[in-house]
């Protein structure tokens, strides 16, 4: 008899714990990666030596290959990115196409990779 009471109370507590467990909504998985690269040399011209070096350091920190060329009173910074880099992971193909348009407008080559 005690066994039946113990099993009944244990079953009641067990069902109560299962029912009380909150359900957690997992975030929707990202299904597309938007990749970019810039294999062709691009160039910016600066009047200031300091600004040219600052821009060169910024691009180099972002993974670009850079060249600084001094022409008279102007400084030319050339830069390119030969490796494909992930710009962002997005959940829909439509979002990936929107980002593709933005990056192409900035002069990058873009590739969308589903995963």
Domain with 108, as residue range(s), is: 29-114
In a domain, 47, yes or no: yes
Q: Let me know if 95 is exposed, middle or buried by CB neighbors in 10 A (0-12, 13-18, 19+).
A: middle
**Count of domains forming the chain:** 1
Contact 102, 90 (CB under 8 A): no
In a domain, 62, yes or no: yes
Question: pLDDT digit string (tens) for 56-110?
Answer: 999 999 999 999 999 889 999 999 999 999 999 999 999 999 999 999 999 899 9
In a domain, 10, yes or no: no
In a domain, 20, yes or no: no
Q: Where are the strands (E) in 6-104, listed by range?
A: 32-46, 65-71, 74-90
Q: Which helix (H) or strand (E) holds 102?
A: helix 93-105
In a domain, 12, yes or no: no
4-8, 13-17, 53-57, 104-108: range with lowest mean pLDDT: 13-17
In a domain, 45, yes or no: yes
In a domain, 6, yes or no: no
> What letter would DSSP give residue 13?
H
Torsion of CA 106, 110, 114, 115, to 10 degrees: -80
In a domain, 71, yes or no: yes
């Amino acid at each position: 008899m005690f066994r039946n009471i113990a099993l009944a109370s244990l079953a009641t507590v067990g069902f109560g714990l299962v029912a009380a467990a909150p359900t957690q909504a997992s975030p929707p998985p990202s299904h597309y990666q938007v990749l970019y690269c810039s294999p062709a040399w691009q160039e910016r011209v600066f009047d200031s030596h300091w600004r040219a070096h600052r821009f060169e350091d910024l691009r180099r920190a972002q993974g670009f290959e850079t060249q600084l060329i001094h022409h008279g009173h102007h400084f030319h910074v050339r830069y390119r990115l030969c490796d494909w880099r992930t710009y962002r992971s997005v959940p829909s193909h439509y979002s990936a196409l929107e980002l593709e348009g933005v990056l192409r407008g900035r002069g990058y080559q873009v590739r969308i990779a589903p995963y």
